[in-house]
C-alpha cells in the first residue's frame, strides 16, 4: 500500500515538474523561515532562565516621584543591598553591580580598551551561578583590586583560559589588579553582560552611606517560597527610615519595586537598563507570523 502511494506521488511529481518544484520550494522556504522565527522567539523567552535560582532572583527598581516628574529607574543606592540582607529575613543574599568607566588594560606589550566592566560584591556567585573555569567563587572578589575575567579576555591577554589566576593586569592609571578567577563567556541571553568583574571593596568608601546617589543595580535572592509582592510591600517604610531626611525638603518620594530577573528582558519599562531590551509584543507578532507562514506554505 505504502509502496503504491510513493509510486503514484513520484509519477505526479515527474508529470508536472514545474508545479511540483514550485510547491516544494514554497514549502521549504516557509518551513525554513518559520523555524528561524521560532528559534528567535525561543531565545527571547529564554533570557536569564539558565541560572539555577532564576525563579528566586529579583532586581530592586526605584520609582522616583518628583513634583513635576515621575521616573522609573533600574538602579538604586549603594547602601540598599546590605540593609536588605541585614534587616529582611526574606533575603538570602543581596548583591550590587555598578558599571565602571571604559578602561584600557595592559599586559606586557598588549594594550586593549575594554567595555562592560562592573564592580560587584563578593557573594555574586551565590546568586548568579556563572560557570567558572578557574578560581574559587567564594573568595574571588573579596580582596581590593581583585579581578575576574571572562574566557575571551583571558585568551586575548594570556593566550589561554587556564593557569591564568594569580597573574596581574594593569589599567591605564597604573593600578595593578590580581586575577582571581576565569569565567566562561556570559551567555548572550542575559539581561546584564560583562567582560570584567572587579571586587566591590576596590571602590572608595564614600558610597557607604549615600542614600541620595543612585547608580547601582541591586539584586536579591529571596528564600524559597517567599512572595515577591509581600516582600515589596515590606520595603515601603524604608523611605521614612533612610531617605526622608534627604528628599522631603525637595518634595521627592522614593519607593522600591521587586522585579523577577526572568521578566526583565521582555517586560521591563525601567530607565537605565544595562542592555537593550526585547519586547513581548514582538514575540507575539513573530510567533503569529511564523504560524501563518507555515500554514500558507
84-129 tens-digit pLDDT: 999 999 999 999 999 998 899 999 889 999 999 999 999 999 999 9
| Length in residues, the chain | 297
> Same domain, yes or no, for 153 and 228?
yes
Find the domain containing 18 and state its range.
2-45
- Checking if the pLDDT of 297 tops 80, the result is no
**Rounded CA separation 190/193 (Å):** 6
**Rounded CA separation 144/200 (Å):** 7
- Checking if the pLDDT of 181 tops 70, the result is yes
**Rounded CA separation 60/258 (Å):** 5
Using alpha carbons, select from 101, 96, 124 the residue that is nearest to residue 219: 96
In a domain? residue 292: no
- Checking if the pLDDT of 15 tops 70, the result is no
For the chain, percent of residues with pLDDT exceeding 90: 78
> Same domain, yes or no, for 145 and 200?
yes
> Same domain, yes or no, for 23 and 84?
no
In a domain? residue 193: yes
> Same domain, yes or no, for 164 and 217?
yes
In a domain? residue 296: no
**Rounded CA separation 229/213 (Å):** 25
> Same domain, yes or no, for 144 and 210?
yes
In a domain? residue 290: no
Continuous segment of H or E residues that includes residue 52: none
The partner residues of 197 in beta bridges, in order of sequence, read 118, 148
> Same domain, yes or no, for 20 and 165?
no
> Same domain, yes or no, for 152 and 11?
no
> Same domain, yes or no, for 17 and 105?
no
Structure confidence at residue 64 (pLDDT): 96
Phi, psi torsion values for 104, nearest 5 degrees: -100, 125
> Same domain, yes or no, for 233 and 98?
yes
For the chain, the domain total comes to 2
Looking at 13-17, 49-53, 240-244, which range is the least confident one? Answer: 13-17
Section 223-235 average pLDDT? 96
pLDDT band at 137 (very low <50, low <70, confident <90, very high): very high
**Rounded CA separation 229/222 (Å):** 12
> Same domain, yes or no, for 241 and 128?
yes
Q: How far apart are the first and last CA of the chain?
A: 28
Alpha helices in 46-108 (DSSP H): 80-87
**Rounded CA separation 63/215 (Å):** 13
> Same domain, yes or no, for 229 and 149?
yes
pLDDT band at 209 (very low <50, low <70, confident <90, very high): confident
pTM, full prediction:
0.89
Continuous segment of H or E residues that includes residue 167: none
Section 192-220 average pLDDT? 90
Amino acid at each position: 500500500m505504502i509502496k503504491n502511494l510513493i509510486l503514484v506521488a513520484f509519477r505526479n511529481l515527474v508529470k508536472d515538474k514545474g508545479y511540483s518544484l514550485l510547491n516544494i520550494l514554497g514549502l521549504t522556504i516557509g518551513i525554513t523561515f518559520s523555524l528561524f522565527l521560532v528559534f528567535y522567539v525561543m531565545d527571547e523567552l529564554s533570557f536569564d532562565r539558565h541560572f539555577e535560582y532564576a525563579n528566586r532572583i529579583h532586581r530592586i527598581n526605584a520609582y522616583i516621584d518628583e513634583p513635576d516628574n515621575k521616573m522609573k529607574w533600574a538602579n538604586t543606592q549603594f547602601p540598599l543591598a546590605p540593609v536588605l540582607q541585614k534587616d529582611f529575613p526574606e533575603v538570602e543574599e543581596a548583591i550590587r553591580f555598578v558599571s565602571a568607566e571604559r578602561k584600557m588594560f595592559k599586559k606586557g606589550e598588549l594594550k586593549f580598551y575594554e567595555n562592560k566592566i562592573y564592580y560587584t560584591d563578593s557573594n555574586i556567585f551565590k546568586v548568579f551561578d556563572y560557570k567558572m573555569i578557574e578560581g574559587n567563587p567564594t573568595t574571588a572578589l573579596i580582596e581590593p583590586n581583585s579581578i575576574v575575567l571572562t574566557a575571551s579576555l583571558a585568551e586575548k591577554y594570556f593566550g589561554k583560559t587556564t593557569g591564568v589566576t594569580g597573574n596581574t593586569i594593569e589599567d591605564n592609571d597604573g593600578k595593578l589588579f590580581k586575577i582571581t578567577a576565569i569565567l566562561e563567556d556570559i551567555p548572550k541571553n542575559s539581561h546584564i553582560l560583562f567582560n570584567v568583574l572587579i571586587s566591590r571593596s576596590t571602590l572608595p568608601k564614600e558610597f557607604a552611606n549615600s542614600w541620595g546617589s543612585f547608580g547601582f543595580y541591586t539584586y536579591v535572592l529571596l528564600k524559597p517560597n517567599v512572595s515577591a509582592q509581600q516582600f515589596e510591600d515590606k520595603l515601603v517604610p524604608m523611605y521614612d527610615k533612610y531617605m526622608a531626611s534627604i528628599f522631603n525638603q525637595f518634595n521627592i518620594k522614593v519607593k522600591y519595586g521587586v522585579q523577577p530577573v526572568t521578566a526583565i528582558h521582555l517586560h521591563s519599562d525601567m530607565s537605565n537598563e544595562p542592555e537593550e531590551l526585547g519586547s513581548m509584543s514582538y514575540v507575539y507578532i513573530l510567533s503569529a507570523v511564523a504560524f501563518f507562514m507555515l500554514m500558507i506554505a
